Structure 1
Amino acid sequence: MKEKIDSLKGDQMSIKKHHVKSKLAVVYQLIHTPGVADYIPETELLNKSSLQRMIQKYEKVYLKPDRGRKSKGVIRVERLKGNRFKIRYGSLQKYADKKDIWKKTDRLTKGKRYIVQQAIESVTKDRRHFDLRCHLVRIQGQWKVGGICGRLGEPGSIVTTYHSGGTPTPLNTLLTRHLNYSGRKKENMIRRLKECAIQAVHHVSKMYPNLKEFAVDMGIDPKRRIWIYEVNIEPLIRANFKKLPDKTVYRKIKKVRKIAR
């Protein structure tokens, strides 16, 4: 925990000056919140030294635009044997060694403000990447979960969003068919996901008191540990819940939106 907090202290001033939609600003809020901080992958502002630290500490890291949406511009860096690295960017795949990894990634980020984040192994039994989108709405001052859906990435893809070829998937289908959860374990996981998302949004909403809905993107690792990738402050439901075969959850969210306050 202390290590995570220390890694972000150097960026505190720049966060205060930066746009309020900054991913790093939200991470900074959550990393200082007891009960939530342990759900947050280690995250830093991307620069040459932070990239070098993170790729030595973790086998895989993600580079994400600080204010990006729909997984656009996401890069994955994977450490291989002999201090070699594989860089994935969309369908592009490059290799680099330690001395030129920064030059190659900096060229891909094109000088834009990025974060570097510990990669979480959130994959199905057939090794497809997945995450979960949890939509929350404030009703009479209390944060309520409007719905949760899974998102399955295409085989071999590093991203899961619909705009990048991912498939919105009913939560029950994801947990039972793709993760082999039994009835009791499935219900327990759903409860934990909701509690985690509500707790995170309760604190993030203090930064945006006028907003009445958020979406939390989450992962589950092989040890069934829950992780929060990011909290979205302008959540859309068309490319997630509306794409589900059954529109029940989509209609529910649309309904509760009308009474949000």
Structure 2
Amino acid sequence: MLLNEVRLLKNGLGKWEQFLLLNKNPLTTNCIPESTLYSLENLIYLLNRYEYVYVKHNDTGQGRAIYKVYKRKDGHYCFNGFTMQGEEINKCVAAIEDFHQVLHPYEKHGRLSGNYIIQEGVTSLTPNGHSISIRVHVQKLKGKWIIGGIYGRIATEDHGIVNSNRGSQIIPIDELLSDYMMMDNTKKNKTIASLKKDSILASEVIASHFPCREYGIDFGINLKGKPILFEVNTTPSISSFAKIDTAIWKKIVEIRKMQNEG
């Protein structure tokens, strides 16, 4: 990857920089959504290609400054999600410029709110229509990437944003795939194996330019049953593991101790 294409941040790796790295590598480019830097022109273009898209702030986390956007049949633009301050928003507007003002409320004063990316909307739903995502925690120990733990998230509200900080329910991965996704054991095991493989590949790619000892990697599962990588978190929390399986949480903590000893 050319250095002028990737901007390394002292406090993390932005979503756009992640996309450039993962898209450049032939082993990971097929498991990520189409993405581009935000502009009104790019937004209109992708809204004409996809049923909906996500607009995300390049550097925020915890479900802040992320919006699901779609164009209604009557030409209105609808969006819902959470502002930079974490406030929920759900609106439809006649002009797409009105959505732009939500992203950059102080632009008229010459101040932008930072960069955003636009991401292809991947339909990641249970057969009953509930939005889901999956977190894979990856750790590096003695030069080898290992899976610390995996859990599922299911949206409790129909706003299309699956994030534990925005009300999503945390559940064990077996429960998500068996009970909610209605997979048999063969399909479930194949999906988990794919999640682990893609997570380690993504960790290797990201670590080549932004080394960390652990990553939290978020996936969806598209309508064909294929895991799609949404985002790599460079400072992942493990508190959700403690809520569903203290043994997994203790395992991650023990690996962290061994990393420090190493």
Q: TM-score, normalised by structure 2?
A: 0.88
Indicate the residue corresponding to 2:234 in structure 1.
233
1:16 maps to 2:7: yes
What is the identity, as a one-letter code, of the residue corresponding to 2:91? K
- Cα distance in 1 for residues equivalent to 2:45 and 2:9: 24
**Contact 2:220–2:229 (8 Å) recurs in 1:** yes
Indicate the residue corresponding to 2:208 in structure 1.
206
1:137-176 CA-to-partner distances (Å, cap 9, x unmatched) read 0011111011110011113132222211111110000000
CA drift at 1:89:
2.7
Aligned to 1:57, the other structure's residue is in SS state coil
Aligned to 1:81, the other structure's residue is in SS state coil
Aligned to 2:258, the other structure's residue is in SS state coil
Indicate the residue corresponding to 1:145 in structure 2.
147
What is the identity, as a one-letter code, of the residue corresponding to 1:242? A
After superposition, the Cα gap between the structure-2 partners of 1:51 and 1:173, relative to the gap in structure 1 and judged at 3 Å, is same
What is the identity, as a one-letter code, of the residue corresponding to 2:102? L
Indicate the residue corresponding to 1:247 in structure 2.
246
| Structure 1 residues without counterparts, runs of 5 or longer | 1-8
- Cα distance in 1 for residues equivalent to 2:203 and 2:146: 10
1:83 maps to 2:75: yes
**Contact 2:36–2:119 (8 Å) recurs in 1:** yes
After superposition, the Cα gap between the structure-2 partners of 1:47 and 1:150, relative to the gap in structure 1 and judged at 3 Å, is same
CA drift at 1:13:
4.6
Indicate the residue corresponding to 2:124 in structure 1.
122
1:194 maps to 2:196: yes
1:106-156 CA-to-partner distances (Å, cap 9, x unmatched) read 111123211110011101122111100000000111110111100111131
The structure 1 segments of at least 4 consecutive aligned residues displaced by more than 4 Å after TM superposition are 12-15, 17-20
- Cα distance in 2 for residues equivalent to 1:252 and 1:243: 14
- Cα distance in 2 for residues equivalent to 1:61 and 1:13: 27
What is the aligned-residue RMSD (CA, Å)?
A: 1.9
Indicate the residue corresponding to 2:107 in structure 1.
none
Indicate the residue corresponding to 1:56 in structure 2.
48
| 2:166 aligned residue (164, 167, 171) | 164
Aligned to 2:186, the other structure's residue is in SS state helix
| Structure 2 residues without counterparts, runs of 5 or longer | 83-87, 105-111
1:93 maps to 2:90: yes
**Contact 2:81–2:161 (8 Å) recurs in 1:** no
Q: TM-score, normalised by structure 1?
A: 0.88
CA drift at 1:207:
1.2
- Cα distance in 2 for residues equivalent to 1:82 and 1:18: 42
CA drift at 1:82:
3.8
| 2:30 aligned residue (24, 34, 38) | 38
CA drift at 1:73:
1.4
